[in-house]
Amino acid sequence: MNLQTIPSEEFLQLSVHLPVVDVRSPGEFIQGHIPGAFNIPLFDNEERAKVGTTYVKIGKDPAIHLGQSIAEIKKEFYLERIRKVAPGNQILIHCWRGGLRSEKIAEFFTEFGYQVWVLEGGYKSYRGFIRRQFSQERPVFILGGYTGSGKTAILNEMAKLENQTIDLEALANHKGSIFGHLGQGNQPTTEQFENNLYAKWAVYDLKKPLWLEHESVSIGHVFLPDTFFRTMLQGILFLVDLPKTYRISRLVEEYSCFDNLTLQALIGHLGNYMGGNRAKQALQALQNRDFEQVASITLEYYDKLYDNSLINRPVRKIVKVPLPAGDVAENARIVLKFAADFRD
Residues tagged active-site: 95
d(CA 344, CA 331): 22
DSSP labels, 122-152 = HHHHHHHHHHHHTTS---EEEEEESTTS-HH
Q: What is the DSSP letter of 189?
A: P
In sequence order, the 6+-apart residues with CB closer than 8 A to the CB of 176 are 169, 215, 216, 219, 220
In the chain, the amino acid numbered 336 is: L
The residues that bridge with 4 in the sheet, in sequence order, are 117
Quote the CA–CA distance of 64 and 54 in Å, as a whole number: 9
- The DSSP secondary structure of 56-114, one letter per residue, reads HHT-HHHHHHHHHHHHHHTHHHHHHHHHHH-TTSEEEEE-SSSSHHHHHHHHHHHHTT-
Q: How far apart are CA 23 and CA 182, in angstroms?
A: 35
Residue 270: DSSP 8-state: H
Residues in the chain: 344
Cite the DSSP H helix spans in the chain. Answer: 8-14, 26-31, 45-57, 60-73, 75-85, 100-111, 122-133, 151-160, 168-172, 190-201, 226-233, 244-255, 260-274, 276-287, 291-312, 328-339
Helix (H, G, I), strand (E, B) or coil at 305: helix
Q: Comparing C-alpha atoms, which of 138, 143, 21 is closest to residue 79?
A: 21
- Reported as type and span, the H/E element at residue 316 is none
